[in-house]
Amino acid sequence: MQKLKGLIAAPFTAFDADGELNLPAIDKQIELLTGNQISGALVNGTTGECGSLTLDERMTVAERWCAAARAFDDFAVVAHVGHSCLKDSRTLAAHAQKVGATAVAALPPYYFKPASAEILVEHCRLIAEAAPGLPFYYYHIPSISGVAIPVINILRALGDKIPNFAGVKFTYEDLYDFGLCLEFENRRYDILCGRDESLLPGLALGATGAVGSTYNYIAPVYRELIEAFAANDLAAAQAAQEKSRQIISVMVNFGGIPAAKTIMRMIGIDCGQVRLPLAAVSDAKFAEFEKALAAVGFFDVCSRSTNASAPNAV
């Protein structure tokens, strides 16, 4: 199985004014990503508010992304199919294969949680089995799933139980575990860096691919980081990573995912508001948020869209 390379964005699920799916926005999203040298998208993930979407909505979104990606060469669409219900995960995985996804990824069950690596491997096996023609990625994000089983233990328990197991989307701060996974069995698996603010340490350990939400709107910062790292210009790479951290800090201070979704409107791609229980950035806070972003130089480095509406966005 070919490993995923470069930057993979975790896109937002676009909603209209009534809170329903806004499918035409996907065409604008993929144009923005490809225009900023993003190599793929992991759809229906955490950033995409997967837990707030119905099963039918998740399938509709995945199908539209796969259809849109056909207009671009080598743009990967990874469909996230994780669910607290195993049967629903299998349904989503089978659908992803049917509509032409590049790969599938799955969170662990996050309500009733697996008690051991062996149980988790069996859970993943049954999901991967439903899409045998696609690479399967385990989605490790303990801050959301509450499942903190070290990934190296999962890989050791795996053996040959899942023939299409491709690797891991590793969204956690444990660089020790991350490094062990990268080196496991002579770099057998594709370990994708999932923390945007730790891309540089991930590259230093040997990662060749990364998945993240901020690649939607500050891709140029990460391209600069990757190019500097490749050229052995550590100071420039560190400066780019620090720039991303400054922007992420502002985004987190104004609410995280809801604030990030607001950023998309600033750069010209209106993805609507978030669904409850997330809370949107209020109109009263919007100007303050925009000012805080400008103060850290966001509008000098953001991804570019021809539809930008914010005064400083182009």
Q: Write the CB contacts of 41 (distance below 8 Å, at least 6 apart in sequence).
A: 8, 9, 10, 11, 29, 30, 33, 65, 69, 75, 76, 77, 78
Q: Which pLDDT belongs to residue 311? A: 33
pLDDT tens-digit map of 81-115: 999 999 999 999 999 999 999 999 999 999 999 99
Residue 306 — pLDDT band, cuts 50, 70, 90?
A: low
Q: What is the pLDDT of residue 309?
A: 41
Whole-number Å distance between alpha carbons of 180 and 59: 34
Look over the chain and give the mean of its residue pLDDT values, rounded to a whole number: 95
Choice between 59 and 308, residue whose per-residue pLDDT is larger: 59
Q: What is the mean pLDDT of residues 270-290?
A: 95
Cα distance between residue 149 and residue 119, in whole Å: 11
pTM above 0.75?
A: yes
Q: Is the pLDDT of residue 279 over 50?
A: yes
Q: Is 210 helix (H, G, I), strand (E, B) or coil?
A: strand
Answer yes or no: are the C-beta atoms of 80 and 45 closer than 8 Å.
Answer: yes
Q: What is the pLDDT of residues 139-161, one digit of tens each?
A: 999 999 999 999 999 999 999 99
Among residues 200, 297, 289, 213, the alpha carbon closest in space to that of 257 is found at 213
Write down the pLDDT at residue 305: 74
Instruction: Answer whether residue 307 shows pLDDT above 50.
Output: no
Question: In the beta sheet, which residues pair with residue 148?
Answer: none
- Whole-number Cα distances in Å, 130 to 24, 106, 162, 299: 29, 12, 11, 43
Task: Specify the pLDDT at position 73.
Answer: 87
Task: State mean pLDDT over 47-58.
Answer: 98
Give how far Cα 225 sits from Cα of 93, 170, 221, Å: 34, 19, 6
- pLDDT at residue 314 greater than cutoff 80: no
Residue 207 has pLDDT above 70, yes or no: yes
**Which positions are annotated as active-site residues?**
139, 169
